[in-house]
A and B are shown apart, each in its own frame.
Chain A
Amino acid sequence: MINNKIVENLIKEIDGWEVEIKIEKIGKVLEVFDGIAKVSGLSDIKSSEMVTFSSGEVGVALNLEEYEVGVIILGDFSKIKEGDEVRATGRILEIPVSDAVLGRVLNARGMPIDGKGVIKTTKTYPIEKVAPGVVTRQGVDEPVATGIKVIDAIIPVGRGQRELIIGDRQTGKTALAIDTILNQKGQNMICVYVSIGQKDSKLRKIESRLEEGGAMEYTVIVSAGASEAASLSYIAPYTGVSIAEYFMDQGKDVLIIYDDLSKHAVAYREISLLLRRPPGREAYPGDVFYLHSRLLERACRRNEKYGGGSITAFPIIETQAGDISAYIPTNVISITDGQIFLETDLFYKGIRPAVNVGSSVSRVGSNAQIKAMKKVAGTLKLDLAQYRELEAFAQFGSDLDESTKRQLERGKRSVELLKQLQYAPIKTENQVVVMYALTRGYMDDVPVEKIKAFESGLIEYSENNAKTFYKEVTESKMWTEKGEEELKKAITDFKNSFS
């Protein structure tokens, strides 16, 4: 009985199958080394075309030469032998996409590596695509709430923006990105975290952290580990952005993090040198700028007519000893719409997140900042810059006039307030409250060491006692005079009870 059913099903399946046999272009492997294969034949192959080896491995044709083709092998190249058959597929490399990828960890070819079973889908997206054109785009005008005070107040990021996170090792670049993902809960945002050449232990830590924070529900992790071939590190970010585009095509907002593009450039350099492409500055090939520009151009905000949705990109770059004028950092700085610059000195001084407010900018984000935040934090950047200057100056003499002293005291409190613990994102409306208290001078006579306690106490108090203000800020992103009065009263009341 059961057997009959199996046979019936099989017959049904086979009925729906049509054999398609056509003339194929076949080449032969001439040599294989370090993840690269030189292949003869394949006369009509296109650049970036996917090829398959007889052992089942997949490759991408990158170098088209007169008599041979240079192919990068995506996977285990030890299975490939000289003389093996190589088939051209006539297609650009594709990855499977579906809604089921959310909450999963994928490799650079879009296959799950988290042991949670196969992802069933028939839909595929090519990994290389031309970025959306000018007519399909729209200005950045909606904020990405990162939950990090210093970013939301001073370097605001909008949906569809490309904001670079740059800094030395161990300055909290990944922490900033992970905090941002954690804060996207309930913000109608899909997150894609692309890990390039990172240690598997670090990835594991990130995954469990996101799981704990309930962030994996809306997050996909794409990983090309440090132990995998350079070719996989090379394609991983393109895989990530293709998954992001799949969600954007449904009109959703997506946040994508590339951690990090320095390792991506290094992987591409390795491939290029093995393919014997001429090396340029720092031995990177000539097209290393295009490598990143074509990737980051795919981040965009599309207008309603073309389906809406957005991709916000947070590329990460690791600098060596704070040198932002090296080749890759300058390239990516010029491609992106601003950068968040993290510094080792600040980090060890205890200012965390160690954002250098002076060197960090957001070129388009201020249009996306909510009005309430713009109103309260508008002068903060300037205040902090002046404070830095005065701080250096004040070390020389003790005779300072009143206004200078006041500015110094305010500066100290601003720096203290902008400190924030890891994994502790703060809601935008709460940020507005504390920024209001700071910039309107309510914190000027609170001792610096008590600022943290004042901040948390104030948030709790005003949440309960300034409900109209909160309602106005969350709903219309602005407040009325009545709301402001209520907030002022709440702050004064709290301050009187605070000791």
Chain B
Amino acid sequence: MEISSNNNIAQAIFQLLSRKNLLEKASDIIGEVQTMVDAQNGKIVAKVGSARILDEKTKMHLKQILSKRYSAKEIVLKESVDVKFLGGVRIEVNDDVLDLTLQNKIGKLQKYLTMSR
């Protein structure tokens, strides 16, 4: 039953998109629909960037903190690894960004030292 109703919704969405000539933008629109559905279900996607792959313990800890802060039922971590960060993590939730990377700290230090005083 659930599968068929989901199929119906998907069918309806695609019909609407094709009618409005919006199939080109389908991936953006579906992404937007996904965020709305997630928001309704209390699910939050957090992008986590780090210099090295995070271990399970850290991830659990992060999830706990984030679900408390955003009072979310479920936290989905989308991880990415970039050596440019040098160390630490960068967390993005919606338009909130907490940049705890070494790269950011060094950048701030550079700004402080070159500031005219």
Please report A residues at the B interface, Cβ cutoff 8 Å: 10, 13-14, 17, 19-27, 40-43, 118, 120-122
If A14-B109, A17-B109 touch, does A23 touch B116 (CB 8 Å cutoff)?
no
If A13-B113, A21-B104 touch, does A41 touch B95 (CB 8 Å cutoff)?
yes
A43 proximity list for chain B (CB < 8 A): 94-95
| Residue of A with least CB distance to B96 | A23
B117 proximity list for chain A (CB < 8 A): 120, 122
B113 proximity list for chain A (CB < 8 A): 10, 13-14
A24 proximity list for chain B (CB < 8 A): 96-99
B97 proximity list for chain A (CB < 8 A): 23-26
| Residue of A with least CB distance to B113 | A13
Please report B residues at the A interface, Cβ cutoff 8 Å: 92, 94-100, 104-105, 108-109, 112-113, 116-117
A10 proximity list for chain B (CB < 8 A): 113
Chain A at the B interface: mostly helix, strand, loop or mixed? loop
A19 proximity list for chain B (CB < 8 A): 105, 108-109
- Complex: A361 Cα to B117 Cα, angstroms: 47
- Complex: A17 Cα to B94 Cα, angstroms: 30
B95 lies within 8 A of A42 (CB): yes
- Complex: A337 Cα to B59 Cα, angstroms: 66
CB<8 Å pairs between A and B, sample of 15: A10-B113, A19-B109, A21-B99, A21-B104, A21-B108, A24-B99, A25-B96, A25-B97, A26-B92, A26-B95, A26-B97, A40-B95, A41-B94, A43-B94, A121-B116
| Residue of A with least CB distance to B101 | A21
- Complex: A43 Cα to B105 Cα, angstroms: 25
A27 lies within 8 A of B95 (CB): yes
- Residue among B95, B112, B113, B116 with the most chain A CB within 10 A? B95
A21 lies within 8 A of B98 (CB): yes
A42 proximity list for chain B (CB < 8 A): 95
- Report the minimum CB–CB distance from B35 to chain A (whole Å): 12
- Complex: A399 Cα to B64 Cα, angstroms: 104
A41 proximity list for chain B (CB < 8 A): 94-95
- Complex: A336 Cα to B107 Cα, angstroms: 48
B92 proximity list for chain A (CB < 8 A): 26
- Given contacts A23-B98, A27-B95, A120-B116, list 8 more A-B pairs with CB under 8 A: A17-B109, A19-B109, A21-B98, A21-B104, A23-B97, A25-B95, A43-B94, A122-B117
B109 proximity list for chain A (CB < 8 A): 14, 17, 19
- Complex: A120 Cα to B117 Cα, angstroms: 6
- Complex: A26 Cα to B109 Cα, angstroms: 21
- Report the minimum CB–CB distance from B23 to chain A (whole Å): 21
B116 proximity list for chain A (CB < 8 A): 118, 120-121
- Complex: A10 Cα to B97 Cα, angstroms: 30
A14 proximity list for chain B (CB < 8 A): 109, 113
- Report the minimum CB–CB distance from B88 to chain A (whole Å): 10
B99 proximity list for chain A (CB < 8 A): 21, 24
- Complex: A23 Cα to B117 Cα, angstroms: 27
- Report the minimum CB–CB distance from A433 to chain B (whole Å): 51
- Complex: A10 Cα to B113 Cα, angstroms: 9
- Complex: A445 Cα to B116 Cα, angstroms: 66
- Complex: A102 Cα to B109 Cα, angstroms: 31
Query: Which 4 pairs across A and B sit closest by C-beta, in order of nearness?
Result: A41-B95, A26-B97, A23-B98, A120-B116
| Residue of B with least CB distance to A87 | B97
- Complex: A372 Cα to B75 Cα, angstroms: 81
